Structure 1
Amino acid sequence: MNYIIYLRVSTKEQGKSGLGLEAQKRDIQLYLDNYSPTPYIVLKELVEVDSGANSNRETLTEAISFAKKYDATLLVAKLDRLSRKVSFIAKLMEDRKLNFKVATMPHADPFQLHIYAALAEQEREFISKRTKAALAEAKARGTRLGGLRTKTNERNVAKRKQADDFAKSLWPIIEPMVKTSLAYSEIAKRLNQMNVKTANGGVFWASTVSNIVKRMV
């Protein structure tokens, strides 16, 4: 079984930090270890930073082309990594030359995926309307909506400081390996072997190590 892996995050900040990517890689590896026919080969892994509402994504188009060209299965962590539009998911399902799998729904057939996409789209539409209604009510009561942005900024500053502090605490371990020109993937492997956990309690990936190095260099 051959795979083309497609990963997507919505913001550049998530792409740089590895946030989101780490969880997707974990779910995909769980699928490969527990549900994939064996032996399997990952032919290519592609990462894109773009909104799921955008159906004209260059890297996704490239991933689909690779999957068709090499008769490989396009593998994503979650259905919304492909798209947040049920019409786009339906279009992919109609393409007889393309086979794709969703890691977190390993046993789902095309019909079930279609239903899930439709329900998810309805839920997002409802949440959007509910949020707009809540903001309108807050504005009518005289609530200063700008305060919400201030609190968000404060949380972001706190998160950045936490990430900086975490990077500093690990730097004595990572710096010697960086100086010997070890690949980030190898450094991540060694940290995992040492049972060192990320700030979120997860495992290390090359992107996680890269983010720490960028903070310290």
Structure 2
Amino acid sequence: MINGMARAKNAPANTVVAYLRVSTEEQAESGAGLAAQRAAIQVEADRRGWIIVAWKEDTVSGKSLEGREGLAEALELVESRQAETLVVAKLDRLSRSLIDFAALMERARSKRWNLIALDLGIDLATPAGEFLASVMASAAQWERRIIGQRTREGLAAKKAAGVRLGRPATLSATVRERIRTESRNGSSLAAVARGLNNDEVPTAQGGKKWYPSTIRAVLASQ
């Protein structure tokens, strides 16, 4: 193999696992169905002399790599050295998330199996394919940073608008009234917290320990 993409140890040469995927709404679409994907892979296998050791498929959304039994079985075959390559007809059959796909490419590199997406010419065993994979990995890193930036900006905007952030409080009205009453009657924050702890009253988030700062936050929220 080229550019450090060594063949998986003990995997027979030119062996591939073919992976197919459709979502429920895609099954009837031209070019997206299982038959079309299978035909594209078979044509390329015949041209390049691949031995297809297994066909694995899923009917599930491509938004995540999680919860796909067919993909898990395909990965098991290449990582257990029963085949040297995982091939898909189209990149989005693996994932529509660039971040997830970049992680899968890194997994292929680290565990020394090949990954091929026919539609974009991605082939980690070739210089061009590896270059394209590195470009996509860089794009995935950019996407992660953009998502993080948008999240921070969104939270800042909500905070500026007075929206309460974090998990919603689940403190009962009875406990709130107790804290208000004891505070009005002159009890210190520490004393109120100590009394709640002695009575084993859970906090708003289900915790077992009250602190003066927790009591202060409850009073401020009212």
Task: Output the TM-score relative to the length of structure 1.
Answer: 0.47
Task: Output the TM-score relative to the length of structure 2.
Answer: 0.46
